[in-house]
Structure 1
Amino acid sequence: MVNQLSWKVGGQQGEGIDSTGEIFAKALNRMGYYLYSYRHFSSRIKGGHTNNKIRVSTNEIRTVTNDLDLLVAFDQETIDINAHELNDNGLILADAKFKPSKSEDIVASLVSIPFTEIATELGTSLMKNMVAIGASSAVLGLDISIYKEVIEETFLKKGQPIVDKNMGAIRAGYEFLTKEASEQANKLHIKEADGKKRMFMIGNDAIALGALAAGSRFMPAYPITPASEIMEYLIEKLPEFGGTVIQTEDEIAAVTMAIGANYAGVRAFTASAGPGLSLMMESIGLSGMTETPLVVIDTQRGGPSTGLPTKQEQSDLMQMIYGTHGEIPKIVLAPSTAEEAFYDTIQAFNLAEEYQCPVILLSDLQLSLSKQTVEKFDHSKININRGKLKMDESLPALENKDYFKRYELTKDGISPRVFPGTKNGIHHVTGVEHDETGKPSEAAENRKHQMEKRLRKLNNVTQRFDKPIHFSLHDEEADVLLIGFNSTRGAIEEAIAELREDGIKTNHAHIRLLHPFPTKVLQPIIDRSKRVVVVENNGTGQHANVIKMNVGALEKIESILKYDGNPFLPNDLYTKVKELFLVGNLQRF
């Protein structure tokens, strides 16, 4: 029996690949297995190859693996494209009309199963995916009764006969493989899970839940991959809490509506991807100048322009830190797991109101769309902080034609804030430079004071975090320090385990607060390391350059870059780091 395995289903988009993976994974999640999935899909609604790779384990995992144990193929293309991932004991379950890959390097066995024929005999060829789930369960040694609850949840609204037919299709697939391929069915039996109940969600779901928990009640947004699921989730859930989602005409409208709502006192946010963030930059500057709280979610994808809408990349980093014209205070957060995405989203709303500035939560396609096991959220950790918000009773009466000092010069750079209509809180708001009451002013001395006030807001942001950097100390003096951000965490952690087995002393720092940069935290970590390798999904080493600007150590820092649209995998990263350690050259995928 095995502790973990990787299962992949592939076919043409629109023929139920997603639902196959969803039903399979949901059932295993409810048994207590840890899961992590990654979908490969095209930027079209129907047609084109798609696959869903799901890693199943009895232990916690944060990424998919290089190899593959079981491949379910609904077309020949799935075999031709994915069979090279299969390990020596790997198995292909393919519809009867398809053949093994022509590559001589493929040693996996192919079991021919008439998915379509069996499903058609049971009522409809659409149930071929259920037949495949049944056959997969026979290989893994799973009791097919685990699917009953999930099938009922999925199909009961269509009537009990549909539920029965789908369960019948699962049973037929299970029985066919057990009867026709009993030898292969014993290869990949997985050990029993612990039975504990855990959540199973994509990062975007965790972000949406975080926004709800933070008290956000308004989301204006324009649909875009890979951010749309945040909007779709909240379209359903926000009305239950007295909130709403508005689909705007474009991203400019979305961000300006969010700014307006925040100014009015409602916690609001928007979410988009690289192209949408490009359109938002001027308005993000408006948030900084007017000191209006704003939370923006950026789910990175392949660029530039339309680029690779459905593929992994981490190339928005510089844009998120430096994209706006002029200089404003800005905070950029980067969660690395779905669990962190939940808590960091709450933190983003608090920081936006505490520091009265734009806060960008930076995700990437792998984190946003990979479905993963998540421990139950601890609601005792949820805290709402609205910063220097002044109410009627705390405001002194205004005399004559005085105005409230909304942009008062303060030691910490954060001025008192009021909601519009607050008694004794009248003030101006404008995107041009202004004095303490908000009235436009181009006076040189005023400009200097207001600029310095805004910029010193961020002086203590790093201290607000218990862990601005995840640091895994394995060796006091490391041969190599691996640094990453967002979804590369899992691949780095597993690569380090292999490197240490080879005798290479390796530590890991994962940056959670990207701006303002936690220099004082990272500096001693880099100082105790002989070499530093920054792992990131882009072509120019953006994260490495940010580290060099803030920490120095130019002679130590090297990069491993990948920008082909695919995420880092543990074994690939292990190989590249080892090559880099032995040879010492910049590595690109």
Structure 2
Amino acid sequence: MVKQLSWKVGGQQGEGIESTGEIFSIALNRLGYYLYGYRHFSSRIKGGHTNNKIRVSTTQTRSISDDLDILVAFDQETIDVNYKELHENGIIIADAKFNPNKPEDTNAVMFSVAFTQMATDLGTSLMKNMVAVGATCAVMNLDIKVFEEVVGEIFGRKGQAVVAKNMEAIQAGFDFTKEQLGANAGSMELDKADGKKRMFMIGNDAIALGAIAAGSRFMAAYPITPASEIMEYLIKKLPDLGGTVIQTEDEIAAATMAIGANYAGVRAFTASAGPGLSLKMESIGLSGMTETPLVIIDTQRGGPSTGLPTKQEQSDLMAMIYGTHGEIPKIVLAPSTVQEAFYDTAEAFNLAEEYQCPVILLSDLQLSLGKQTVEPLEFDRVEIRRGKLQTELPEIENKEYFKRYEVTEDGVSPRVVPGMKFGIHHVTGVEHDETGKPSESAVNRNIQMDKRFRKVENIKFDTPVYKNAPHEEADVLLVGFNSTRGAIEEAMERIEADGIKVNHAHIRLIHPFPADELSALVQSAKKVVVVENNATGQLANIIKMNVGYANKVVKFNKYDGNPFLPHEIHTKCKELF
């Protein structure tokens, strides 16, 4: 038996690859295994190679595995593209329809199984993915009964006859493959899981749930990969809660609509990816100037321009901090796990209202679309704080305007919703005085600029830097943000086994940068290896600007569209010593 294995299914986009992985992983999640799944897919609706790699483990895992145990291939391209990931005892299960050829430079064993023909004999070739699931069960010595509940949920609306046929397809794949395995029977059998119930979700679902928990009932957005699932989830859920989602005509409208809703007192937000964020920049500046709360989700992807819309990258960092023209206070958060994506999204709404500024929640494609096991979320941990939003105002004499931008010690002014008695004031994107009236006075300009930036001098955010630092003095400090955390954590064990002392810091508050929290770890390390999916080392440069010690900082960049693997980080650290 094994404690974990990696399974991948591949074929042409649009022929059921995603559903095959979904059925396989949901069933194993319900048995109590921990899973981590990552999809490689093309930026088109149908056609082009796609695969879904799923890691199954008896312990928590947050990273794609270095190698591969089982490859399920619906076409020859899947074998040609992915076989080198297979370790020497790996197994290929291929559809006999395409007369599969095993490359000569692999020791993996290949079994040809008639996925398509078996499914066709049972009524429709569409069930070939169920045959593949059955074949996988044979290799893993899994009881196919574990799939009955999942198949019933997915196909139940089509009637019990359809459910029964799909289970027949799984049984057919199981029986045929079992006969073929011989000495390989049970070679991939997993240790028994703990049987505990856990959630299985992508980061985008967690972000959407976090918005709901925070009391947000309005989202304005335009579809874009890899952010669209947030909108799609809320389209289904918000109407039941008295809320709504508006698909706007473009990203500019989405941002300004969200600003308008927040101005009216509604907790509203928008979500997009790099190209959409470029269009939102002027509106983000408007939020900063008018001191209107605004939450923006940025799910990073490969750029620039259309770039690699379905591939991993972390290259929006500098744009999210410095992208707006002029200078405004803003907050940039970067969760590193699905759990953090939920809690940090909820907290983003609190920070936006408490500090009356735009708050950007930075995700990336791997975190947003990677599906993983999640411990039950604690909704009672979420609190709603609305800052200085006033519910009533004292009477103002002489019909004076309300001081919406009143100069205060902490920089945060009292805020009202439209129509509140004694709350009348101007709102404008040009510089203004305390009542909102336009003003080009040099003295007023300095006063208002200083007031706005005082707001973010002392941001209160739980765990701005996640630290795993067992050593007072380390040979290497590994630093990352967003989804690189899992690969870093796994690499640490291997680096320590080589006798190299390693600490880990993961940045969750990107801006204002938590220099004090990171400084001690940087000082006590010989080398600081910054792991990030971009070409220029944006986080490394930010660390140099805010913490110093540039001579210690080593940039480790990957920008080919693929996530980091643990062995890559391990190898990089070994090279330094």
> What TM-score range do you get, normalising by the shorter chain?
over 0.9
Paired residues of 2:75 and 2:100 also in contact (CA < 8 A): no
Structure 1: how far apart are the matches of 2:317 and 2:416? 33
1:265 alignment counterpart: 265
* Matches for 1:345-424 after TM superposition, within 5 Å: 345-392=345-392, 395-424=393-422
Q: Residue 565 of structure 2 aligns with which residue?
A: 569
> Counterpart of 1:186 in 2: which secondary structure?
coil
- Distance, in Å, in 2 between the alignment partners of 1:300 and 1:197 is 31
Q: After superposition, give the CA deviation of every residue in 1:208-234 in whole Å (9 maximum; x if it has no partner).
A: 000000000000100000000000000
Residue 535 of structure 2 aligns to which amino acid in structure 1?
G
Contact 2:100 2:112 in 1 (8 A): no
Gaps of 5+ in 2: none
Identify the match of residue 504 of structure 2 among 500, 505, 508.
508
Q: How does 1:442-481 map to 2 (within 5 A)?
A: 442-461=440-459, 464-481=460-477
Mapped partners of 1:246, 1:167: distance in 2: 40
Deviations 1:307-336 (A, max 9, x none): 000000000000000000111000000000
Counterpart of 1:35 in structure 2 is 35
> Retained in 1: the 8 A contact 2:530–2:539?
yes
Question: Which structure 1 residue ranges, 4+ long, deviate > 3 Å from structure 2?
Answer: 97-104
Task: Provide the residue aligned with 1:59 in structure 2.
Answer: 59
CA displacement, residues 142-174 of structure 1 (integer Å, 9 cap, x when unaligned): 111111111011001111100000001001111
Q: Which residue of 1 aligns with 2:175?
A: 175
CA contact (8 A) 1:177 1:185 kept: no
**Distance in 2 separating the partners of 1:183 and 1:105:** 22
Query: What residue is the counterpart of 2:288 in the other structure?
Result: 288
TM-score, length of structure 2 as denominator length: 0.99
- Partner amino acid, structure 2, of 1:57: S
Correspondence list, 1:74-85, <5 A: 74-85=74-85
Q: Which residue of 2 aligns with 1:495?
A: 491
Q: Distance in 2 between matches of 1:485 and 1:107?
A: 37
1:94 is paired with a residue whose SS is strand
Letter in 1 for 2:348: A
Displacement, 1:103?
Answer: 4.0
Three-state SS of the structure 1 residue aligned to 2:226 is coil
Contact 1:221–1:271 (8 Å) recurs in 2: yes
- 2:52 is paired with a residue whose SS is strand
User: Deviations for 1:15-64, whole angstroms, at most 9, x for unmatched residues?
Assistant: 00000000000000000000000000000000000000000000000011
Residues 199 and 375, structure 1, Cα contact 8 Å, conserved in 2: yes
Where does residue 541 of structure 1 map in the other structure?
537
Amino acid at match of 1:316: D
Q: Which runs of 5+ in 1 are unaligned?
A: 583-589
Alignment check: 8 A CA contact 2:97 2:116 kept: no
For 1:428, give the aligned amino acid: H
Q: State how many pairs are aligned.
A: 577
2:555 maps to: 559
Q: How do 1:170-319 residues align onto structure 2 when only pairs under 5 Å count?
A: 170-319=170-319
Percent sequence identity over matched residues? Answer: 72
Equivalent-residue separation in structure 2 for 1:323 and 1:417 (angstroms) = 26
**Counterpart of 1:459 in 2: which secondary structure?**
coil
Letter in 1 for 2:410: D
Does residue 143 of structure 1 match 2:161?
no
Deviation (angstroms), 1:180: 2.1
CA distance in 2, matches of 1:185, 1:449: 75
SS in 1 for 2:47: coil
Output the CA distance in 2 between the equivalents of 1:102 and 1:466.
52
Q: Which amino acid aligns with 1:123?
A: G
Q: Per the alignment, in what secondary structure is the counterpart of residue 416 of structure 1?
A: coil
1:126 aligns with 2:126: yes
d(CA) in 1 for partners of 2:109, 2:279: 51
Superposition TM-score, scaled by structure 1 size = 0.97
Q: Work out the CA distance in 2 between the residues paired with 1:465 and 1:103.
A: 53
Shift of 1:118: 0.8
By how many angstroms is 1:98 displaced?
Answer: 4.2
Deviates more, 1:361-370 or 1:169-178: 169-178
1:474 deviates by: 2.1
